[in-house]
Amino acid sequence: MSTGVKHFIAFAALAIILIALPKVFVSGSAHTMMSLMGIMIIFALSYNILLGQTGLLSFGHAVYYGLAGFCVAHAMNYIAREKIGVPLPFIPLIGAFAGLFFGALFGLISTRRAGTVFSMISLGIGELVASSALILRSFFGGEEGIPTNRTKFPPFFGYKFGPQIEVYYLIAFWCFVCIALMYALTRTPFGRMCNAVRDNPERAEFVGYSTQRVRFIAFVFSAIFAGVAGALATINFELMNSQSLGAGQSGLVLLMTYVGGVGHFIGPIIGGVIITFLQISLSDITKAWMLYFGLMFILVVMFSPGGVAGWLALHQPLLKGGRIFRLIPAYALALVPMAMLAAGLIMTIELAHRMLVDAQSDGSVMKLAGWTVDAAKAQPWMLAIGLLVCGALGLKLAWPKVREAFAAQSAEVAQ
Amino acid sequence: MTPALSLQDVRKNFGPTEIIRGLTLDVMPRERHAIIGPNGAGKSTTFHLISGRIKPSSGSIRLNGAEITGMAPYEINRRGLSRSFQVTNIFPRLSVFENVRCGVLWSLGYRYSFWRFVDKLRDANEKAHAIVEEIGLGARRHAPAGILTYAEQRALEIGVTIAGGADVVMLDEPTAGMSKAETEQAVALIRKISEGRTLVMVEHDMSVVFGLADRISVLVYGQIIASDTPQAIRQNKAVREAYLGEEAH
Ligand SMILES: Nc1ncnc2c1ncn2[C@@H]1O[C@H](COP(=O)(O)OP(=O)(O)OP(=O)(O)O)[C@@H](O)[C@H]1O
Ligand SMILES: [Mg+2]
């Protein structure tokens, strides 16, 4: 199969998935979640233009998402007030222009250097913008942010974008366009030179390229797409507030991209979906969800630096060779201690959270997966520690088997 | 005739120590010029100065008559000078083919273009393909450069260097660490790629030097003590004492 055909199939499949998803998951909360996933996919992919493609670790990427979001909120209010006949689906273009503007402005300063200096400057700019957001109340709206109303626009083919499902399709459309554009970007001469600059900036200068220029252009592109994501967020929530451009949001996009995998184009898409799902569902279940995110990030960095996509790519030859199923026994064996380890970890975190945060006000008795336990007693702690120890020991025994099985099957496939 | 490359009283000090101490050198167009000298004489430093990796403390460097002193490496490269490195310096995660294509892109005018697909650039792909074949890595074209063997990486190093079609090519110890057979291959390759171009080469292997070079310059303690034809260098008394003599025993 030629690459052209492969790409056509992949993008056709993507389109079908985007169109069909709301028909499969029909609840309102599912539509809300999928809308946010679409936004986060664009945001994470835009971040990976920097991190995965060009090797630039930014700690302030939310600046472009948030600033564009605010520009869009003001623009939407203005357009509605002045009755300028722009339909809602074109609004993300304003976000793209805002991203372009701020990306070029801050990019001029921050892309002069790579490496640690770049990271530090991005952090500085992030703090700078976040703190001015609290001062410039007229633009950023203080704590409340800038509210807006997406239904005050002329109908677009009859759609008013009041219902979430209509917003979902608007986001899905832009998500598709942005994925296609960002993918195309990786396959241009510029995209390849981004990779070259990531791999070896010195040598790139000796084949005629100014690494500073490459970094700058990459930075502007990533800000443009972050701007589109920010615009969609404003449309989706009908609100933009200063949290969206702060360090927390910048950390979240780094987390999503890294957990998904920076080495593959699809990584940030996976990351955006997984993290958004966890964020929404975990925050319903536990108050300590941020802690779980931190833990997950550490585990991925330590044990699977290629992220989910890297882990999947590792198995691709086995899948192609039809031997992936031979791994099931080994993985199943490892799954038991892993589950114990996870259960022990979750218990420890929840018990500790209860004792440290809620015990004064609500007492130490709590519900854990349906069971009523008293976090002040020794038994639940013993159980948690027991699970942790057994899980760790079990995994130590089981993991070599997984490695063995993997090596054996890989060798078979290689023949 | 204007020299392809001309250095006038170039000096470079790192802190208090002067490493390059008034270096003057002319390389004529289409000449194969070898620079030899003992370890630490300043050969690589001279390459760095010419190619813009480091800036001279004083003196002037001209490429085809035009001043290039103190320019950035990419500016010098765009003016037609390309160099390889003593320690292999490639793009490890890109494939062999992509490494070479990165070397080709600027010279064909594709610059920072983000509005066309790199796989559709026929001229760039054909040229990269031809070079990959020429350096003998056709079978390894899709392998990531980072996993190549040492000799393969050295060949790729040359491939990336010549890809842009520069008319002055500088190779820093292209055969260092190679076996006899690999060296022979490399020499044949260098002979071929330097046809119609100016070649400046640092090399320790005297059979390579005397086999390839039209002229040889001897660099000792940051100065050129002799610059002449191979025969004249062989007979030069100062050179024999300072350098070749050591090699002989
Ligand atoms: N950045 C630097 N700072 C300080 N000293 C340096 C620096 N670069 C090179 N030198 C010193 O300059 C001298 C010349 O180094 P250079 O690498 O040019 O030698 P060379 O002739 O290429 O030697 P070799 O044959 O071993 O490659 C050495 O003594 C080295 O230690
Ligand atoms: Mg050297």
How confident is the model over B20-71, as pLDDT tens digits?
A: 999 999 999 999 999 999 999 999 999 999 999 999 999 999 999 999 999 9
A251 and A176 in a common domain: yes
Quick one: average pLDDT of A18-28? 96
Is A360's Cβ below 8 Å from some Cβ in B? no
Q: What contacts 24+ positions apart, CB below 8 Å, involve A372-378?
A: A375/A351
Is the Cβ atom of B48 under 6 angstroms away from ligand 1? no
Closest partner CB to B118 (pick from A187, A200, A202):
A187
Residue B248, pLDDT score: 45
Rounded to the nearest angstrom, the minimum Cα separation between B247 and chain A is 33
pTM of the model: 0.94
Examine residue A297 and state whether it is found in any structural domain, yes or no: no
Span A53-111, pLDDT tens digits: 999 999 999 999 999 999 999 999 999 999 998 999 999 999 999 999 999 999 999 99
Chain B hits for A187, Cβ within 8 Å: 117-119
Examine residue A299 and state whether it is found in any structural domain, yes or no: no
CATH of the domain at A161: 1.10.3470
Which of A93, A56, A88, A43 minimizes the C-alpha distance to A223? A43
Residue B244, pLDDT score: 59
A151 and A24 in a common domain: yes
What would the two tokens of residue A60 be? 């302030």
With cut-offs at 50, 70 and 90, classify the pLDDT of residue A1.
confident
A199 and A343 in a common domain: no
Domain of A282 in residue numbering reads as 3-291
A354 and A277 in a common domain: no
Closest-CA residue in chain B for A195?
B94
Q: What percent of chain A has pLDDT over 70?
A: 100
Cα distance between residue B25 and residue B56, in whole Å: 15
What would the two tokens of residue A82 be? 């002045």
Examine residue A310 and state whether it is found in any structural domain, yes or no: no
Choosing from B35, B36, B43 the residue with most ligand 1 atoms within 8 A of its CB, the one to mutate for a pocket test is B43
With cut-offs at 50, 70 and 90, classify the pLDDT of residue A28.
very high
- Beta bridge partners, B23, equal B10
Examine residue A311 and state whether it is found in any structural domain, yes or no: no
Cβ partners under 8 Å of residue B145, min gap 6: B90, B91, B92, B93, B94, B95, B96, B99, B153, B156
Is A6's Cβ below 8 Å from some Cβ in B? no
Closest-CA residue in chain B for A215?
B112
Examine residue A375 and state whether it is found in any structural domain, yes or no: yes
Cα distance between residue A275 and residue A39, in whole Å: 12
Is the Cβ atom of B42 under 6 angstroms away from ligand 1? yes
Closest partner CB to A193 (pick from B77, B102, B107):
B102
A361 and A286 in a common domain: no
Quick one: average pLDDT of A190-219? 98
Span A328-383, pLDDT tens digits: 888 999 999 999 999 999 999 888 888 888 877 877 788 887 788 888 888 889 99
Examine residue A298 and state whether it is found in any structural domain, yes or no: no
The DSSP symbol for A335 reads: H
**Are B77 and A191 inside 8 Å of each other by CB?**
no
Mutate to test the interface with B, among A203, A214, A219, A221 (most CBs of B within 10 A): A203
A374 and A266 in a common domain: no
Q: How far, in Å, from the CA of B38 to the mean position of ligand 2?
A: 9
A333 and A278 in a common domain: no
Examine residue A189 and state whether it is found in any structural domain, yes or no: yes
The DSSP symbol for B16 reads: T
Given A276, A291, A306, the domain boundary residue is A291
Domain count, chain A: 2
A371 and A280 in a common domain: no
- Output helix, strand, coil percentages for chain A, rounded to the nearest 5: 80, 5, 20
Residue B249, pLDDT score: 42
Angle at B56 between CA B35 and CA B100, to 5 degrees: 60
What are the b/e assignments for B25-46, b being 16+ CB within 10 Å?
bbbeeebbbbbbbbeebbbbbb
A355 and A251 in a common domain: no
**Cα–Cα distances in Å, from A278 out to A257, A281, A291, A352, A409?**
14, 5, 12, 21, 33
Quick one: average pLDDT of A30-39? 97
pLDDT at residue A229 is higher than 60 = yes
Residue type (1 letter), A351: L
For residue A114, is it left (φ>0), alpha (ψ between -120 and 50) or beta?
beta
A287 and A239 in a common domain: yes
**Cα–Cα distances in Å, from A202 out to A110, A115, A208, B51, B71?**
19, 13, 11, 12, 15
Quick one: average pLDDT of A238-264? 96
* Number of residues written out for chain B: 249
A49 and A179 in a common domain: yes
Taking a C-beta distance cutoff of 8 angstroms, is the pair A391, A337 a contact?
yes
Which of B73, B227, B125 minimizes the C-alpha distance to A187? B125
Q: ipTM above 0.85?
A: yes
Examine residue A312 and state whether it is found in any structural domain, yes or no: no
Q: Helices then strands (H, E): number in chain B?
A: 10, 10
- Given a cut of 70, the residues of chain B with pLDDT beneath it are 243-249
Burial (CB count within 10 angstroms: exposed 0-12, middle 13-18, buried 19+), residue B184? middle
A358 and A218 in a common domain: no
Residue B246, pLDDT score: 54
* Number of residues written out for chain A: 415
